[in-house]
Amino acid sequence: MNDPAAMRRSYLRGQLDENAVSRTWLDQLSGWYADATADPAVIEATAMQVATVDAAGRPSVRTVLVKAMDERGVVFYTNYGSAKGRDLAAKPYAAAVLVWPPLERQVRLSGAVSRVDRADTEAYFASRPRGSQLGAWASPQSTVVASRGVLEDAARVIEERFAGRDIPAPPNWGGYRLVPDVVEFWQGRADRLHDRIRYRLDDDTWVIERLAP
């Protein structure tokens, strides 16, 4: 095994200047997202890790895919009855990170989380492949299942139930919007003197400031 302590890379690909970043976190994120999608070395540019806490304050983190981003926040879709759904019902806040190692970049967001409008969920669900739609119905996400066969049987039952017609979004499935009040952009630099630029909502004003790496 390679000794993790001996793994070392220099980050030299870019830089970030508080006087040159976009005026809004959304413009900055959109620009970096465009760079990520344009780089063939980034294979899942929308992958975002989302951390939640349960009612007792115990954190969990998992990957989801970002499906929308605008001035209101970033949206992902999931099962509302999942572990993350239960966490968010009890504590409607999350922290998230997108990391694009080939670009030596990370974006962190944190803030309140709310469900997206049902119409948005239905529109997005309708755009998904039919197989994914069946899967959403068949999977009681985050519960213990006896076997894979149980899930496949459930998918077959759903397929028969909706044979020949459109599959609606399951009632317990939908989008969450993370509405950030802090967004931080990290660009790797030489000698571990990385650039960190944070957008922080202070009352109604976004403050842009540099953080020590």
Ligand X SMILES: Cc1cc2nc3c(=O)[nH]c(=O)nc-3n(C[C@H](O)[C@H](O)[C@H](O)COP(=O)(O)O)c2cc1C
User: Hey, is 29 helix, strand or coil?
Assistant: helix
E strand residue ranges, 71-126: 73-79, 93-100, 105-115
DSSP strand pairing (73-79 vs 205-211): unpaired
Applying CB under 6 A, the residues found at the interface with ligand X are 44, 47, 60, 62-65, 76-78, 82-84, 141-142
Instruction: Return the residue matching tokens 């990520």.
Output: 36
Tell me the closest approach of the beta carbon of residue 115 to ligand X, in angstroms. Answer: 14
Tell me the closest approach of the beta carbon of residue 65 to ligand X, in angstroms. Answer: 4
Tell me the closest approach of the beta carbon of residue 19 to ligand X, in angstroms. Answer: 35
When the beta carbons of 15 and 132 are compared against ligand X, the nearer one is 132
By annotation, the residues acting in catalysis are 192
When the beta carbons of 134 and 208 are compared against ligand X, the nearer one is 134
Q: Residue 121 burial (CB < 10 Å; 0-12/13-18/19+)? A: buried
Radius of gyration of the chain (CA): 20
When the beta carbons of 62 and 91 are compared against ligand X, the nearer one is 62
